């Protein structure tokens, strides 16, 4: 699923947590869980009409100040 040379480094503790949650939640793999979470988060921002709206959403979620 993450083939094609695309690599993302994750802290080993975070990866362990992801693996545990994805297994309990019934995902086929931790990669499938990661993709699902990222797609869900991206959808929130893709609905924004402008860059300013994206910035405001990120501020509201505490990602930027």
32-63 confidence digits (pLDDT tens): 999 999 998 888 777 777 888 878 878 887 87
Identify the band that residue 24 occupies on the pLDDT scale cut at 50, 70 and 90. very high
Are residues 22 and 30 in contact, defined by beta-carbon separation less than 8 angstroms?
Answer: yes
Instruction: List Cα–Cα distances, 56 to 22, 43, 47, in angstroms.
Output: 30, 15, 13
Ordered by start, the domain boundaries in the chain are 12-60
The sign of the dihedral angle between the CA atoms of 54, 57, 63, 65 is: positive
The per-residue pLDDT for 2 is 53
Q: Flag whether the pTM goes above 0.85.
A: no
64, pLDDT greater than 90: no
């Amino acid at each position: 699923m993450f083939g094609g040379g695309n690599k993302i480094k994750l802290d080993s503790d975070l990866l362990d947590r992801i693996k545990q949650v994805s297994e309990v939640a019934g995902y086929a793999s931790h990669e499938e869980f990661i993709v699902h979470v990222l797609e869900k988060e991206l959808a929130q921002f893709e609905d924004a009409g402008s860059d300013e709206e994206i910035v405001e959403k990120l501020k509201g979620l505490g990602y930027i100040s």
